[in-house]
Amino acid sequence: MTSLVAAGPAGIPDLVVRTTRIPDPGDLTRLIPADVPPTDVLSWVRSGDGIVGWGRAAEIETGGTGRFRDAGDWWQEVITSAICRSEVDLPGAGLVAFGSFAFSKNSPAGGSLIVPSTVVGRRGGIAWVTRISDRLEPSTAPGVAADPVGPGAARFSDGALSGAQWTQAVAHAVRGILAGDVDKVVMARDVIADTDAPIDPRWLIGRLATRYANTWTFAVDGLVGATPEMLVRREKGLVTSRVLAGTIQRTGDDAHDLALAGSLARSSKDLEEHEYAVRSVADSLRPHCSSMNVPESPFVLHLPNVMHLATDVVGVLADYTTSLTLAESLHPSAAVCGTPTDAAAAMIGSLEHLDRGRYAGPVGWLDASGDGEWGIALRSGQLDAADPTRMRLFAGCGIVAGSEPEAELAESESKLLPMREALAD
């Protein structure tokens, strides 16, 4: 990988980082310039706050089993050689990198950390701009960019498997669970979207951030989506992970949805699926924490399209483990793979017939202190590097002994809805 800025003796970029407080810039997703290449659009926004970025001051691409470790080692060297000046002491200010990593160590999608040349952030009423390059740059507030243009009509077609073939794969998974091969397995499927005009990721993140404001709207290296699941947040010694497992589709009728939420909270099938996911997260975080709080019962998280059983696991960090290393230790959780992990991964490999790429892998950011936020890349799609009018969308469902294949297919369709709607012109 070649750095885009001047590099020191070890090949690590010598970055000059300047963060300046600015007046509230408004909608962060509207600030990204129109001439930014699609893969250089960077976003991590929730309920209006967060960070967006563009450009590439430095980057690294990694692969295989060492994709997290190699990225983390590189980041530590970048931090050591950087010169930072900041008027803002908040997570996301100063030197930051956006990242995304493949679900599987065997995927050619690998992983990447990208240091933007410009970052704009807002948190708790405080806004800032950070300029990063090989020289001191003025940190003036960016202006609102030209409105993105929609991609026109979108047409959707089967990916690796048709709906009927995928339900058959789910039925195979259920038989394997009943035979004792695994306790739970998460089955993903893909759908191909073809549009009339090139897909502008600024269009997608703007629409996702508006409709799904309480999710984390992300864009990193052409991977775009709105995830409701926080894999791990590290902030000033506190570690948090939001676990989602167990889903029911909303109807749009508030009274009926309230009743459905109650049935979800009592569903033995969904509670079993959720318990596996919570246990896997708690077991992975425990070695890094001096104390932990793991609620006994989940709550129901309401999203515009679905409702999930959710649990927030919180711990006090006992060592200097960066948010990226914590994300590595948590991945893959039972929420995206299954349990036992190795057996579930093997079943996924034999039944899904697709490479997930960076879908269901960690996506997010980290700063120079090691703090950061890493979600699971769900409700997302990957832009096609060779065809700007094509995008590959993904959805997945947790399968346990009580799963019904047709119901799981319907659930996957509801999870594809955010990206389908975002593509609609």
Does residue 375 have a pLDDT over 60?
yes
What helix, strand, coil percent values describe the chain, rounded to 5?
A: 30, 35, 35
The pLDDT confidence band at residue 136, using thresholds 50, 70 and 90, is: low
Higher pLDDT, 173 or 10: 173
Which pLDDT does position 358 carry in this prediction? 98
Q: Which residue has the tokens 């590595």?
A: 328
Instruction: Give CA–CA dist 400/170, Å, rounded.
Output: 10
Which amino acid is located at 17 in the chain? V
The pLDDT confidence band at residue 123, using thresholds 50, 70 and 90, is: very high
Which pLDDT does position 272 carry in this prediction? 87
Which pLDDT does position 311 carry in this prediction? 93
Does residue 140 have a pLDDT over 80?
no
pLDDT tens-digit series, residues 34-85: 999 999 999 999 999 999 999 999 999 999 999 999 999 999 999 999 999 9
- Six token digits for residue 372: 């950061």
pTM given for the model: 0.91
pLDDT tens-digit series, residues 379-421: 999 999 999 999 999 999 999 999 999 999 999 999 999 999 9
Which pLDDT does position 424 carry in this prediction? 84
Query: Mean pLDDT, to the nearest integer, of 127-154?
Result: 84
Which pLDDT does position 139 carry in this prediction? 64
Does residue 1 have a pLDDT over 50?
no
Residue 105 annotated among the catalytic residues of the structure: no
Coil, strand, or helix at residue 323? helix
Instruction: Give CA–CA dist 382/5, Å, rounded.
Output: 27
Higher pLDDT, 308 or 174: 174
Which pLDDT does position 357 carry in this prediction? 97
Residue 184 annotated among the catalytic residues of the structure: yes
Whether the Cβ atoms of residue 211 and residue 194 lie closer than 8 Å to each other: no
Q: Which one is catalytic: 61, 87, 137, 184?
A: 184
Q: Which one is catalytic: 229, 328, 352, 373?
A: 229
Angle at 229 between CA 224 and CA 233, to 5 degrees: 100
Which amino acid is located at 290 in the chain? S
How high is the mean pLDDT of the chain?
Answer: 92
Q: Which of 90-99, 329-338, 377-386 has the lowest mean pLDDT?
A: 329-338
Which pLDDT does position 11 carry in this prediction? 59
Q: What is the DSSP string of 151-166?
A: ---EEEEE-SS-HHHH
Instruction: Give CA–CA dist 315/237, Å, rounded.
Output: 9
